[in-house]
Amino acid sequence: MKQIAVVTGAGRGVGRITAITLAQKGWLVVAAGRDKVAIDAVAKEAGGGSVGIVCDVSDPESVKSLFAQIKSSFGRVDLLFNNAGVVIPGVPLEDVKVEDWQKVVDVNISGVFYCTQQAFALMKTQSPMGGRIINNGSISAQIPRPNSSAYTASKHAVTGLTKTASLDGRAFDIAVGQIDIGNANTDMAEVMRVGATQADGSTKIEPTIDPQNVADAVAFMASLPLTSNVPFITVMATKMPFSGRG
């Protein structure tokens, strides 16, 4: 029987290409997302029995329903890629609207937590026990960009979840790791193509990378036996301003 992978936010961007790449590597992929037409199209393109299931990760009931459907259809889950995420336009910290702050927290932190919680419950009780969870962090989980308080705080929280889940999962053969991306060419990276604000106040167009590079790294992490884990990996544009304080 095929191994079961669930990818959140699978309708476009990094989630879409990772879902297709995992399917090419032999996984049966559950493409989870809010847009039914988009996730069904991804599942069809992925093939190999992959399916689309509607899920809004910021809604705990929707996440419960996703994992209930996975359990009843497949009996288990072997890989969760916590990919769904949102960013808000950069504004000075004091001008961040409460509803924008809340949206980022709901998707980027609570969404990862709800999915991890449900995956833990299933992975602990299934036979054979265990599985792998890969969280999509960001280089903003390491270093902030200017005017990115909500996004940066949320991605630092993802690092906290990765660390605590990798500890709590250890006794149950649940391996937890995180990929921190820098400038993958998706809708989210639009600002890099038009010009992103730098720490010195200037604006620069930044190099981007093919999201396939990210998908390949996730597929590598997922290919390891559960006795082996990649706790953190960074995949970024080589020449983007990050190292060396710029």
By CB under 6 A, name the binding residues for ligand NAP: 8-9, 11-15, 33-35, 38, 56-58, 83-86, 107, 111, 136, 138, 181, 183-184, 186-189
How wide is the angle at C-alpha 204 spanned by C-alphas 217 and 189, nearest 5°?
40
Give the pair of three-digit tokens for residue 119: 């995956």
- The span from the CA of 207 to the CA of 194, in Å, is 11
Q: How many CA atoms lie within 13 A of 77 on its CB side?
A: 31
Q: How far apart are CA 167 and CA 183, in angstroms?
A: 29
Q: Which residues are catalytic?
A: 151
- Shortest gap between Cβ of 151 and ligand NAP (angstroms)? 7
**Residue number with CB closer to ligand NAP (85 or 131):** 85
Q: What span, in angstroms and rounded, lies between the C-alpha atoms of 83 and 211?
A: 13
The answer to whether the CB of 162 falls within 8 A of the CB of 119 is no
Q: Which is nearer to ligand NAP, 126 or 147 (CB)?
A: 147
For residue 128, cis peptide bond before it (omega within 30 degrees of 0): yes
Residue type, 16: R
Element (H, E) at 58: none
Q: How far apart are CA 241 and CA 244, in angstroms?
A: 8
For the bound state, the minimum distance from the C-beta of residue 139 to ligand NAP, rounded and expressed in Å, comes to 6
Q: How far is the CB of 171 from ligand NAP (least distance, A)?
A: 28
CB 135 within 8 A of CB 161: yes
Give 119 or 130: the residue with its C-beta nearer to ligand NAP. Answer: 119
Nearer of residues 70 and 181 to ligand NAP, judged by Cβ? 181
Task: Tell me the closest approach of the beta carbon of residue 109 to ligand NAP, in angstroms.
Answer: 11
Smallest gap, in angstroms, from Cβ of residue 103 to ligand NAP?
9
